[in-house]
Structure 1
Amino acid sequence: MTSPTTSATAASEEPLPGVFIFGISGRVGRLLASRLRTRGMTVSGLTRSSQQAAALQADGVTTVSGELALATTQEIASMVSGFDVVVFTAGSNAGHPDVTDAIDDAALARVSEALSGTQTRLILLSVLPEAWRERSLSDEEEHYFAVKKRAEVALTREPIDWVILRPSLLTDDPGRGTVALGPAELHDEITRDDVAAVLEALVLEPTISRRILELNEGPTAVTEAVGRVARSYQA
């Protein structure tokens, strides 16, 4: 697989990984799909509507129609078969607790179960625990954070190749191309475009495995930030 870091240019002739995205119709998922397609990578994802599918297919993305909340482990395994990386950007965004339970917890558990016994990587887009703490949280938001934490804990106990990315507060501002990335970062905010850029770099950096990374705005170029993390774990 091609690495985004300059230290791994020798791997540049290796085939690019195929990527399946749960949450591909969301804002981060769509940005990530666009970035990966620009590289010429094979990208697919689960969509709920023909309108979503048509828009993605116009960009060269293949789609599977269905409801993530209803998909069985066997159905998920069939969807992701043949892909090198699964990225999970789906979530309720602190919506109704039933949706949070169904997507952020139960569906993620079925995805990780579907990957058991495979070499497929799972990259989870989660949330920084401190996010939103500067405001009074609703019951739905408190439930959301509790579920996200529980889901993370469960994933870390699975015998698969996983990475958890915890961004700070997401914004729709233009991406800066620079971030702060590491095992622990301060909470501020980060653009969705920069989150997608970091996910792209993580897809292309297979040496980062079974790690929790926190992400915030910062001064370091995305590829260098991911490269530093990779090198720190190889030292």
Structure 2
Amino acid sequence: MRVVIVGGHGQIARLLHPLLVKAGHEPVALVRNESHRTELEAAGAEVRLLDIEQEGADAFARAFAGCDAVVFAAGGGPDGNIERKRTVDLEGSLKSAEAARLAGIQRFVQVSAIDVDNPVAPDTGEVWRAYVEAKRDADAALRATDLDWTIIRPGRLTDEPATGRVGLGPDVARASVPRADVAAVLAAVLDRPATIGHQWNLVSGDLGIAEAVDRAAAD
């Protein structure tokens, strides 16, 4: 498949591109800055320019042209900019889903965050609350579409090396997980029809990724 990755220069996306190439897919990285082109092309990705905060769904659809699947891996970053949690994490996802429909793309995999459906504690900071609410609302909107969606909700992300062993399922308890393992799970679920319509927490665990995906899809 030709797979378009929204947030194509993000930390998970940069790990995902070579995995997609290895699996025989063609990654298409959507980025805002032309300066990222050389790095991403070296990782095997085609690069297309799109400002996901400023452009509308029609521009997204044009950027999706010729693609067979979408991975939404964009995020507003760890800083204190509350507004970007809405414009990137929520609105970027909403526009991506609408663009997939306009472009005739059914397959849609979204990176979210663990436990965002749970009530937010009263003492939670405003930035974290905005992030959780944006991810929660983006997931709910995607579930309401007729796209072939899968939602992956990682725990606390780390930069540790990939372990290839994860815990994956709707009720997996909060824990950490390397970004490299998140990328590997995204690559693994992308072309497995049995993963469609599932929303799973993802943390480090005891199962190999293929086995974890198979078990989660069978439950």
Deviations 1:188-228 (A, max 9, x none): 10000110110010113122112111111110000111122
Counting only pairs closer than 5 Å after superposition, residues 43-122 of structure 1 correspond to structure 2 as 43-95=27-79, 96-116=81-101, 118-122=104-108
Match of 1:222 in 2: 209
- Percent identity over the alignment is 29
Q: What is the alpha-carbon distance in structure 2 between the residues aligned to residue 94 and residue 59 of structure 1? A: 25
SS at match of 2:95: helix
TM-score (norm 1): 0.85
Q: What is the alpha-carbon distance in structure 1 between the residues aligned to residue 189 and residue 106 of structure 2? A: 14
Q: What is the alpha-carbon distance in structure 1 between the residues aligned to residue 58 and residue 147 of structure 2? A: 17
Match of 1:168 in 2: 155
Q: 5+ unaligned residues in a row in structure 2: which ranges?
A: none
Counting only pairs closer than 5 Å after superposition, residues 138-157 of structure 1 correspond to structure 2 as 138-157=125-144
* Conservation of the 8 A alpha-carbon contact between 2:158 and 2:178: yes
Deviations 1:135-175 (A, max 9, x none): x7421111111121111111111121111110100000111
Amino acid at match of 2:206: P
Match of 1:189 in 2: 176
* Conservation of the 8 A alpha-carbon contact between 1:94 and 1:141: no
Q: What is the alpha-carbon distance in structure 2 between the residues aligned to residue 98 and residue 62 of structure 1? A: 29
TM-score (norm 2): 0.91
Stretch of structure 1 that moved more, 113-122 or 222-231: 113-122
Match of 1:198 in 2: 185
Q: What is the alpha-carbon distance in structure 2 between the residues aligned to residue 128 and residue 60 of structure 1? A: 30
2:54 counterpart of 1:40: no
Q: 5+ unaligned residues in a row in structure 1: which ranges?
A: 1-16
Q: What is the alpha-carbon distance in structure 1 between the residues aligned to residue 105 and residue 35 of structure 2? A: 33
Off by >4 Å, runs of 4+ in structure 1: none
SS at match of 1:212: strand
* Conservation of the 8 A alpha-carbon contact between 2:2 and 2:26: yes
Match of 2:6 in 1: 22
* Conservation of the 8 A alpha-carbon contact between 2:29 and 2:40: no
Q: What is the alpha-carbon distance in structure 1 between the residues aligned to residue 34 and residue 52 of structure 2? A: 15
Q: What is the alpha-carbon distance in structure 2 between the residues aligned to residue 128 and residue 230 of structure 1? A: 18
Stretch of structure 1 that moved more, 152-161 or 186-195: 152-161
Q: What is the alpha-carbon distance in structure 2 between the residues aligned to residue 151 and residue 119 of structure 1? A: 18
